Structure 1
Amino acid sequence: MARRKNMKRRRVILGNTFHLIRENGMDNVSLQMIAEKSGISKSLLQSYYPHKAKLTNDIIRNLFNTLGQQVNNYDMANSNAPYARTKAFIYTIAILGMHDEGLDRIISEAFVSNATLDNWGVMLNDWIKANHLFDGIEVKESELETGIAFITSGIGRLYHDRKKHHLSAEALADYATSALMFSFLHYTSDEIEQALKDGHEIIESADMEVVHRAIDTMFDEGKEIFS
């Protein structure tokens, strides 16, 4: 019972923090604001989350897992095309941030902070393993992990400077996928071109309104949360 109450309160805290950051940005949200919106004292809030960094990490982790689930639901995402699915995942993150100012605040925060940026790479690796994307494909795990760390950092910089470079969400996803495949996993240009084409077909099948609804409700009662 205590654990259930604990998770219920964490769900409330995370949901309220998520909405406050979407509305105001990370720098304009304090622990006191979160506590007041959650109907608890600041000291009780800090017994769950002593610092905003832990809150941010948990929100990004839940956002990441929600997006991963949604990408898996795209009509063509079950095709045997791991790099195409990786492109679709990166595209989904970028397109959401580009078209939703509130989500952009959270995504930008994730790419600015070294701690959360590292978590993006770890979580992308976890998503790949959980979905068995590279099972049966001859890929060195160390090279894959190094490549993901590299493209996570690079795509974060490009996402931050996307307006200056006039980059679309798909262009960002193409750069990241191409860099991973060519520089770290040594695929040919023809293989890369095919993966990007397959990825385009996957994102063409995506219903972004469904993805938005999943994000808006990811901390609702009954939804699995990670904390």
Structure 2
Amino acid sequence: MARRKNMERRRVILGNTFKLIRENGLEKVSLQMIAEKSEISKSLLQSYYPHKSKLISDIARNLLTTLSSEVDKYDDIGHSSPYAHMKAFIYTVFILGSRDEGLDRIISQAITSSDSLDNWGDVLLSWLKENNIFGEYPEDFHDEIATGIAFVAVGVGRLYHERKKHHLTAEDLANYAISSLMYSFCHEDHATIQKALQDGHRIIASADMSSIHESIDKMFDPGKDIIS
């Protein structure tokens, strides 16, 4: 019972923080504001989240996990390569950030904060392991995939932050991420890389962004499972 109450309070805190940052930006949101909106004392809030960085990290992880679940529902996703699937996931994150100023505040903070940056790689690696995508490959290949994803998470995160300067679309960013991973770390040939990018394009063309937005808006609603 105590653990359930603990997670319920964390859900409320995370949901309120998510709303405040979407509306105002991280810099304008204080722990006192979060505590007041959550109807608890600042000291109690800090017993759960001593610093805003941990709040951002948990929000980013819940956001990316929610998006990962939504991407799994895309048409033909189960018949495509893991690379095409990853392209669809990365595209979805960045297209939502490009279209929604509030989500962009969350995503931008996540990819520039050393405390939350690892969430990108963690979500992708978790998905790969849960679906045993590279299960038949030797262990050293798994290590190379993990290294590649860590590299891509940092690189594509920086490009997202500077996307307007370089006139990059969400699909450009997804293509750079996947082609870099496939070529530099998975040693795939040009034809295989192009097929993965084309398959990924076909997948994202079927995406219903309105339903994904709805899932994000409700991810901290009462009764929802959260990661914290």
2:128 counterpart residue number: 128
Deviations 1:140-183 (A, max 9, x none): 01110111011111101110110111111011100100000001
Aligned to 2:25: 25
Match of 2:156 in 1: 155
Q: Which residue of 1 aligns with 2:50?
A: 50
- Structure 2 residue 170 is the aligned partner of structure 1 residue 169: yes
Query: How many percent identity over aligned positions?
Result: 63
Cα distance in 2 between the residues matched to 1:215 and 1:136: 34
Counterpart check, 1:190 vs 2:191: yes
What SS class does the counterpart of residue 140 from structure 1 fall into?
helix
Residue 220 of structure 1 corresponds to 221
Superposition deviation, residue 11 in structure 1: 0.8
For 1:132, what is the secondary structure of its paired residue?
coil
1:101-116 to 2 correspondences below 5 Å: 101-116=101-116
Q: Which runs of 5+ in 1 are unaligned?
A: none
CA RMSD of aligned residues (A): 1.2
Which amino acid in the other structure matches residue 222 of structure 1? G
**What is aligned with 2:142?**
141
How far did residue 77 of structure 1 move?
A: 1.2
For the residues of structure 1 that align with 2:141 and 2:38, how far apart are their CA atoms? Answer: 46
Structure 2 gap segments, 5+ residues each: none
TM-score normalised to the size of structure 2?
Answer: 0.96
**Aligned: 1:206 with 2:226:** no
Q: Given the two structures, how large is their TM-score scaled by the length of structure 1?
A: 0.96
* SS, match of residue 37 in structure 2: helix
Contact 2:12 2:38 in 1 (8 A): yes
Q: How many residues align?
A: 227
